[in-house]
Structure 1
Amino acid sequence: MLRGARVGSQLPRVRSVPAYLSSSGPEAIDLAAKAGLHLDPWQKTVLTDALGETDDHRWSAFEVCCFVPRQNGKGGVLEARVLAGLFLFGEKLILWSAHEVKTTDEAYLRIKQLIEENPSFHRRVKRYWQAHGEKGIELKSGARLRFVARTGRSGRGFSGDVIILDEAQELTASQIKAIFSTMSTRPNPQVWYTGTPPENPGAWIYGVKADGERGKARLAYFDWGLELDLADKDLLTRMADRDLWYQANPALGIRITEQFCEDELSRLKDGFAPERLGVWLPRVEDVKLWQVITEAAWSAVLDVQSTPLDPVAFSLDVSPDRDLGAIGLAARRDDGLRHVEITDQRDGVGWMLGRAVELHDRWNPVTFAVDEGGPAGSLIEPMRQAGLPVTTMSGREVAQAYGQFHDAVKNRTLRQRGQRELYDALAGAETRDIGDGMRAWGRRSSDVPLPALVTATNALWALETAAVWLDGSLMA
């Protein structure tokens, strides 16, 4: 590790901790050291406060939240907590989850290495397993550590004495509701939230931030992020202040260098504020979410295993400023219900024609639907020249597509896999009046980009319009 004359602040800007009589933190710190995991002072502080105990030997903090910029070492705190749970506290089931599979993969490999390299730990292991998208470690005592990615929008199956929710900025209210319901019978449960400031100013985690700053009971809260005005015209100049770097990064001078921060600032510009200084966007408290279709209705049509059957229909859409494009798919399922998903959502538009050709070659779809009056209308002629089957949609047909999609969700004749692109779009979507009592998705009136939602809607219309299902056969 790099150690210079100056080290980042070992105390967070915000620290709110429930009172405790004693702490198992020092024991967990010593155990980690035996595994070769030597914690920084700030990591020891978090672990000591988080493992504080009341007079009945229960955790004083049911929830623990730690927000610190990337690469500072929050993973080390979690690793020490997990090792203590397995080898010290006798916790029977620990679950470590993250939004992305690669994050859980990395966590699993780190813990596995720490255990394998310590003979006294390794001999207590019954097995390490990797199967069906899940990884884990089981001890001979029966204690288990599971690593899972949070696919879908719920927390079904997320149960344990300890649940670690890494990348907590991506959590949704429905996931938390499901997760908490699984912990009600645990004798001494604990939930950990770790991550970085969310890109969505309406994210669920803002509520935890507010609770931490007001000192909510049973919540241990640590936040190294700074409070800066992101609208300040002199923000770039302000962020060049090295004192700010040291305030927000406890590992600066240990495993992060000033040179790295300089390079990061020159490359990220305004993005340096959330990434390296932990600055949160102002919370959008007055945004009305789920105005068109409720979150409960969308969750009711969730099926993470939903599988489309041939033939399929696609649709393309582009945001009004043309900085985001999406391709959606609709198909029938073997139970007769309809399936929608997003195959792609990427920056810009230049990739879309080539990707459409790839999808055509793979799926041989009945059509690609495009709103001729929308931003994606410019793609119609190039698609036809490329030999793709294109169905153009008039304003009236766009309204019909909206109605079909809305009714399919309400009547539960549609299934979706819980993709974040669709969830975020639907949560912030608004509609627009296109005359004669007809409505459609409002690209410009919505506070979130809608290409994903528009493509799913229009692909479903294309599927229903282009073909009639009769006796299990497709009749053109």
Structure 2
Amino acid sequence: MTATLTELTCPPLYGTPRSPDRPTLGGQLAAVADRLGKPLMPHQRHIADVALELDPETGLLAYSEVVVIGPRQATGKTELLSPVMTHRCVGFGDPLTRWIRQHLGHVVPEPGPQTVVYTAQTADDARKKWRDVHVARLEKSVYRRQFTPRLRLNAEAMIWRNGSRWSPASTTGKTAGTGDSIDVPVIDEAWSRPDSRTELGMRPASMTRPWRQMWVMSMIPGLSRAMPGTWPYLAHKRQVGRARVAAGMTSGTAFFDFSAAPDLDPGDPQTWWSCMPGLGHTVPEKAIREDYEAMDLVDFCAEYLGWEPMVTTPKWRLIRQETWENLHDPASAVHGRPALAVEMARDRSRGVIGVAGRRADRHWHAAVAEPGYQVPAGVTGVEWMMPRLLELIDEADAVAVVIDPRRPANSLIAPLRNRGVTVLTPNQQEVAAACGRFYDATGEDADATDDAPADPTRLFHLGQASVARALGAAVKLDVGEGAFTIVKRGSGDELIDLYALILAMHGHEVMDPGDYDIADSVDQTVPCLVCGRQLYCNNGQWVHCDDDSGQC
């Protein structure tokens, strides 16, 4: 017997209601969950009953999309998705169509073998979840003899005796190389999608399937995982879903958002019980209390209460924000030959090319060269990096490219060297020294004592927001004997913009072309690495030849 929203002890803050006049396949899904050894919790049964409602007018599923947003570890997303995908592989066949014809009077299309495609934060995450959770759980269940797992890399699939197939896939929208139609595309950890490419890639593969239904699952990410504005795909799903619920719409998309009301006390256990449907079932209150006391409050409120972080910058700890802002010079530019550096996110979802060198006044200039100029800002993936990097090397006559061999960009070292490019690969001690050089150049610890240099070398920048965000999240990590590296509070790849600058400075310091004296800059022009126009030095200030402006 299904529960209504009002009967649930922890209803979603925004949730599509059950339409009692519609039959549902939720009971079948619940039976599958029982056979898998983890019966559905009340809120999961409610989601199943609503999501699998049949439209009496057509006999087909009333909802082609299901969106579930809920707190980390307290919604049971995996325990719901596993029976959803299993039910699709075993429960859509002749018995279903006969039942619909008998009870609803509709002759509906035969579902035939079903194709389920599961995506997670990265392709590797999807494969690991599929292998270690989905396959492992099924192999311990009554379904173990009904499918055969194929474990070949990039061709993984569960092949069911009835012809259905369940596979992990990449996050690019490609259907794991199968080229097949998809009945159930699953987008897990939707917060990690920088755009809608995954959905747009899979939707066309579902268009001809009469029983199609996409599932989108996620929590709201804290600042340690993603900055505000970097997960527009999930934000849009939430905005539209809430609007549909408020408008009373009961077709197209079934939406469930388990969040706390915004005016509640985040430290009050009653707040937790109001939005964590797994509390008391799979998660004890004591565990939530421990996480509340240990986590950053903004992260806790996002990932456990569903409160979207405000667009604010956390307190800067590496250097003061004022220090960095005082070094902003929109006319700053490298005089002479710069060094370049390459950084990539661990999942290769994003890449950065940094540039650094000396200005005509001998101070440092450092900036993110791409993306944001010829390469569109916000571009995903790293396929663009090698072609654009080679162009920059030629355009700027770069002295070297710097790549940390312990980081994902190490895949570019050999291809660059094969093309005759000088590639520096600093060790850990050299990276620590580069971090110290960057820190000293900001002047954060400068004082007015007699021992202070009369004309200290400083680092000037263009005020790029991605670098500022990285600095706002950065802290020192002591590596001994006064040396340190720069790391991020929490986890994530937000520091790649900052490290691209630090490594580029290291490259220029090591190679030191020595071509940045003001006296040598008269009657010389250099290309601007920001806009490409020619620069010339006017009394120590680099300005554009065509309009004498210092700004691009």
Q: Distance in 2 between matches of 1:258 and 1:25?
A: 29
Equivalent runs, 1:173-322 vs 2, <5 Å: 173=195, 174-199=197-222, 200-202=227-229, 203-204=231-232, 205-215=234-244, 218-228=252-262, 238-270=265-297, 271-282=299-310, 292=373, 295=376, 298=379, 302=383, 313-314=401-402
Measured after TM superposition, the shift of residue 85 of structure 1 is 0.6
Measured after TM superposition, the shift of residue 156 of structure 1 is 2.6
CA contact (8 A) 1:315 1:369 kept: no
Measured after TM superposition, the shift of residue 191 of structure 1 is 1.5
Q: Distance in 2 between matches of 1:193 and 1:281?
A: 21
Higher Cα radius of gyration? 2
Which of 130, 133, 136 does residue 157 from structure 2 map onto? Answer: 136
CA contact (8 A) 1:86 1:92 kept: yes
In structure 1, stretches of 5+ residues that fail to align are 1-6, 230-234, 285-289, 317-325, 344-352, 361-367, 379-392, 400-430, 433-439, 468-476
CA contact (8 A) 1:97 1:166 kept: yes
Q: Distance in 2 between matches of 1:46 and 1:162?
A: 16
Q: Distance in 2 between matches of 1:163 and 1:137?
A: 15
Query: What residue number does 2:49 align with?
Result: 48
Equivalent runs, 1:73-84 vs 2, <5 Å: 73-84=76-87
Q: What is the letter of the counterpart of residue 166 of structure 2?
A: L
Q: TM-score, normalised by structure 2?
A: 0.54
Q: Distance in 2 between matches of 1:463 and 1:186?
A: 55
The 3-state SS of whatever aligns with 1:47 is helix
CA contact (8 A) 1:9 1:248 kept: no
CA contact (8 A) 1:8 1:250 kept: no
Query: What residue number does 2:40 align with?
Result: 39
Alignment deviations for residues 104-125 of structure 1 (CA, whole Å, 9 cap, x no partner): 5244333324432344x22221
Are 2:81 and 1:86 aligned?
no
Measured after TM superposition, the shift of residue 283 of structure 1 is 7.0
Q: Distance in 1 between matches of 2:378 and 2:305?
A: 38
Are 2:185 and 1:163 aligned?
yes
Distance 1:140 1:445, change over 3 A: closer
Measured after TM superposition, the shift of residue 262 of structure 1 is 1.9
Distance 1:299 1:252, change over 3 A: closer
Distance 1:191 1:261, change over 3 A: same
Measured after TM superposition, the shift of residue 443 of structure 1 is 3.2
Q: Which moved more, 1:328-337 or 1:162-171?
A: 328-337
The 3-state SS of whatever aligns with 1:245 is helix
Q: TM-score, normalised by structure 1?
A: 0.62
CA contact (8 A) 2:64 2:253 kept: yes
Measured after TM superposition, the shift of residue 456 of structure 1 is 4.7
Measured after TM superposition, the shift of residue 64 of structure 1 is 1.1
Distance 1:291 1:447, change over 3 A: farther
CA contact (8 A) 1:25 1:49 kept: yes
Alignment deviations for residues 305-333 of structure 1 (CA, whole Å, 9 cap, x no partner): 99x9xxx94258xxxxxxxxx99665463
Measured after TM superposition, the shift of residue 242 of structure 1 is 1.6
Runs ≥4 in structure 1, deviation > 6 angstroms? Answer: 303-306, 334-339, 368-372, 445-450, 457-467
Which of 482, 491, 496 does residue 452 from structure 1 map onto? Answer: 496
Measured after TM superposition, the shift of residue 15 of structure 1 is 0.3
Distance 1:33 1:451, change over 3 A: closer
Q: Distance in 1 between matches of 2:505 and 2:203?
A: 38
Measured after TM superposition, the shift of residue 36 of structure 1 is 2.4
The 3-state SS of whatever aligns with 2:151 is strand
Measured after TM superposition, the shift of residue 71 of structure 1 is 2.2
CA contact (8 A) 1:167 1:194 kept: yes
Q: Distance in 1 between matches of 2:306 and 2:378?
A: 35
Q: Distance in 2 between matches of 1:46 and 1:451?
A: 39
Q: Which has the higher contact order (CA 8 A, sep 6+)?
A: 1
Distance 1:192 1:452, change over 3 A: same
Distance 1:196 1:315, change over 3 A: same
Query: What residue number does 1:66 align with?
Result: 68
Q: Distance in 1 between matches of 2:73 and 2:202?
A: 28
Alignment deviations for residues 324-354 of structure 1 (CA, whole Å, 9 cap, x no partner): xx99665463898899x9x9xxxxxxxxx86
Q: What is the letter of the counterpart of residue 79 of structure 1?
A: S
Alignment deviations for residues 224-244 of structure 1 (CA, whole Å, 9 cap, x no partner): 111436xxxxx8xx2232211
CA contact (8 A) 2:118 2:126 kept: no
> Quick one: percent identity of the two aligned structures?
17
Alignment deviations for residues 15-46 of structure 1 (CA, whole Å, 9 cap, x no partner): 03696833221111122223323111110111
Distance 1:195 1:91, change over 3 A: farther
CA contact (8 A) 1:62 1:191 kept: yes
Q: Distance in 2 between matches of 1:188 and 1:267?
A: 45
Aligned residues: 361
Q: Distance in 2 between matches of 1:337 and 1:58?
A: 58
Q: Distance in 2 between matches of 1:113 and 1:445?
A: 40
The 3-state SS of whatever aligns with 1:52 is coil
Alignment deviations for residues 157-205 of structure 1 (CA, whole Å, 9 cap, x no partner): 3662111111111112233333334433433322211121023321121
Alignment deviations for residues 392-450 of structure 1 (CA, whole Å, 9 cap, x no partner): x997xx99xxxxxxxxxxxxxxxxxxxxxxxxxxxxxxx54xxxxxxx88734999877
Q: Distance in 1 between matches of 2:67 and 2:85?
A: 15
Query: What residue number does 2:331 align with?
Result: none
The 3-state SS of whatever aligns with 1:62 is strand
Distance 1:197 1:442, change over 3 A: closer
Measured after TM superposition, the shift of residue 209 of structure 1 is 0.3
Judging by fraction of residues, say which structure has more strand.
1
Query: What residue number does 1:22 align with?
Result: 23
Measured after TM superposition, the shift of residue 99 of structure 1 is 0.7
Q: What is the letter of the counterpart of residue 156 of structure 1?
A: K
In structure 2, stretches of 5+ residues that fail to align are 1-6, 93-111, 313-370, 390-399, 443-456, 474-493, 513-552
Q: Distance in 1 between matches of 2:374 and 2:192?
A: 21
